[in-house]
A and B are shown apart, each in its own frame.
Chain A
Amino acid sequence: MTDTTTTASVGAPKAGFSLQSIFRRPEAGAAAGFVIILIFFGYFGAQNNFLTALGTSTWLNFASKVGIIAIPVGFLMIAGEMDISVGALIPAGGIVLAMATELYGFNIWVSVLLSLAIAGAIGWVNGMLVTRTKVPSLIVTLATLFVVAGLNIFVSKKLAGTTQHSLPDAGPVSEFLFGDYHTLQFGSDDASFVIFQSLQSSFFIWIVFAAICFFILHMSPWGNWIAAMGGDQQSARNAGIPTNRLKIALFMLSAMAAALVGMTEAVLANTASTTTQFGMIFNSIICVVVGGVLLTGGFGTVTGIVFGTLTFGIVFQGINFTTFDKDLNLLFIGALLLIAVLMNETFRKMATNWSSSKK
């Protein structure tokens, strides 16, 4: 073992952009997967308008709702926890909003805050149960999933006598922000140049939310705490990280994000239903895992989760643009998950061993 190195000088910043520096990044797998899937469906779906602004909006709108939930669920997974109660918090967010405005005549913004507050309280209960008892979060949130699902129906029927609530007029500003279709094009008719078409408000919420979460996870010191907590809970606590409070905050964040998605759906559709969205539980987990988050905690990136969500959105919606049999859809999703997990494993190894190869 010699102590001579021929490489870069001490602590010198690495020279900008290089192929190697891309492969060092564990989220490169998720990005590469997205590009491959985009090319694949772009090719097979080209005739059916997959690549047009309207076609793109189809899967982006779908992806945005999963995406808003996937990021905080991903945070929890990085911190070594799970949250599957989101499936019941989506309808909870919608029906609270609808009942507060329609039944009790609250101002829409008061209702939005109320809905977020109730979701936050449920997230707080999740967090308290997980940190105070040592019951695994999968079980705790499985229990609250059913408790909240039951409450959704029970309270709805008791207060409003129905499980389907209408939300006819949310007001122009809240419609615009929560549930509307947005189009940006220059010129008109034949000479028009479309930037985007029929994108739902939830897409823009997702982008802003992802940017904020990127800041939290990768730029603020909190991100380090979240990863440390999932890497080794005991060491993180000994290093002075308030692990319990941080975990409770993360459960509150995921519950509120789910309620937010429920509200965007309610405002868009002008109705809110108590139906529990079991599918969204799996969808959000798939996005997170495809995005390269380590299931056992300790590692993950927002960029990765966003790419994972985009990939999932294309695979889920893209088949409708191709000539493939639609019945193969779920098979595609399963295959995607398997391939993504294997690929992420490889990229993580490359990132870990990166420096050994330059010896």
Chain B
Amino acid sequence: MSANAPILALRGVNKSFGPIDVLHDINLEVRAGEVLCLLGDNGAGKSTLIRILSGVHQPTSGTIEMDGQSVGFPTPRAAADKGIATVHQFGGTFPLMSIGRSFFVGVEPTKGWGPFKTYDRKKANEIAVKAVQDFGITRIDDGDRLVGGLSGGERQSLAIARAVHFGARVLILDEPTAALGVKQAAHVLRIVNEAKRRGLAVIFITHQVMHAMAVGDHFAVLIRGAVAADFKKGEKTREQITDLMAGGETMADLEATIEGYMASHDGHPPPPSH
């Protein structure tokens, strides 16, 4: 297997919900140590695409390949077992659990024997804290802290560190920076870079072109469920990407429309259209 073969590939994937076609003929590949940025306007189908990759939905037609073999992900569990980890917008979903406990949910380390096996809190906390600190989050030093008390960025980092610790090969991040401020977002982007350095394939979904350009090696723009553009780092400028995301209507066009409106309405900007 060559070093540059894709870990995960979509071949001609279509998805429709009843009569509604959401994805058309999607072809995409991700490689180890590479960040694929999935861009697109609201409703373009990004979340649907990653739900197919994480076993929540099944493609209507087309195939998913892993290491060149055709695979199916009938359940989220099946996808997770094959090393696909999905981190959602708010990271940890157990706000009232301690860092150590939420890190090991479902695979708790134990000590003792038989029915008297007890949860090994010390070991869980140590491993969890170390895993997070290895990602450069040195502010987390106490595994007993509740996840709910962490900042949004720290929670994302914890979720990513957890996925990496449990052997994920493909990391899917659905708008991890959406709810974060500038510093917190930078934090998460650093973590994404670290995951990439460790050889994971990362699929990164975002609306923010700046965030995508900071970490992306490879970009795919979805427009109304189809891949409208697929290009490598440095092949397009920020303006070009922004224009693509706006669905072909260029930013310059939009500005012209707004200016035209303002000129004919005594300088008032147009009301928001939705």
Residues of A within 8 A of B (CB): 1, 3-5, 7-11, 13-14, 24, 26, 215, 219-221, 223-225, 227-228, 231-232, 234-241, 294, 298-299, 348, 351-356
Contact = CB atoms under 8 A, between A and B. Distances in A.
Contacts of B93: 231-232, 235
Given A221-B110, A224-B104, A11 B97 contact: no
Contact of A356 (B96, B143, B149): B149
A231 B106 contact: no
B107 interface: yes
Which one of A8, A220, A237 has the greatest number of beta carbons of chain B within 10 Å? Answer: A220
21 contacts: A3-B139, A7-B141, A10-B129, A10-B133, A10-B141, A11-B126, A11-B130, A221-B110, A221-B117, A227-B94, A227-B97, A228-B102, A228-B105, A231-B97, A240-B106, A241-B105, A298-B97, A352-B149, A354-B145, A354-B146, A355-B149
Given A5-B138, A8-B141, A353 B133 contact: no
Nearest to B119: A221
Given A10-B141, A227-B94, A354 B149 contact: yes
B138 A3 contact: yes
Contacts of A232: 93-94
A215 B95 CA distance: 22
Given A10-B129, A10-B133, A219 B94 contact: no
Nearest to A7: B141
Interface residues of B, number: 38
Given A223-B119, A237-B77, A351-B146, A9 B141 contact: yes
A223 B145 CA distance: 18
A11 B125 contact: yes
Interface in B111-130: 117-119, 122, 125-126, 129-130
Q: Which 7 residue pairs are nearest across A and B when measured between Cβ atoms?
A: A239-B106, A221-B108, A299-B96, A232-B93, A231-B94, A352-B148, A240-B106
B144 interface: yes
Contacts of A240: 77, 106-107
A342 B97 CA distance: 21
A5 B119 contact: no
A74 B141 CA distance: 32
A220 B96 contact: no
A181 to B, nearest CB: 33
Contacts, number: 105
Contact of A225 (B106, B136, B148): B106
Contacts of B97: 224, 227-228, 231, 298-299
Contacts of B117: 220-221
A11 B129 contact: yes
B95 A352 contact: yes
B183 interface: yes
Contacts of B110: 221
Which one of B101, B108, B149 has the greatest number of beta carbons of chain A within 10 Å? Answer: B149
Given A227-B94, A354-B146, 13 more contacts: A7-B141, A11-B130, A11-B141, A219-B118, A221-B110, A231-B93, A231-B94, A231-B95, A231-B96, A232-B94, A238-B76, A352-B146, A354-B145
A26 B133 CA distance: 27
Given A238-B77, A352-B148, A354-B146, A298 B95 contact: yes
Interface string B167-200: 0000000000000000100010000000000000
A3 B141 CA distance: 11
A5 B139 contact: yes
Contacts of A348: 96
Contacts of B105: 224-225, 228, 235-236, 239, 241
Contact of A294 (B96, B107, B118): B96
Which one of A8, A221, A225, A353 has the greatest number of beta carbons of chain B within 10 Å? Answer: A221
Contacts of B104: 224
Given A238-B80, A239-B106, A14 B144 contact: yes
A253 B144 CA distance: 29
A355 B145 contact: yes
B94 A352 contact: no
A349 to B, nearest CB: 9
Nearest to B148: A352
Contacts of B21: none
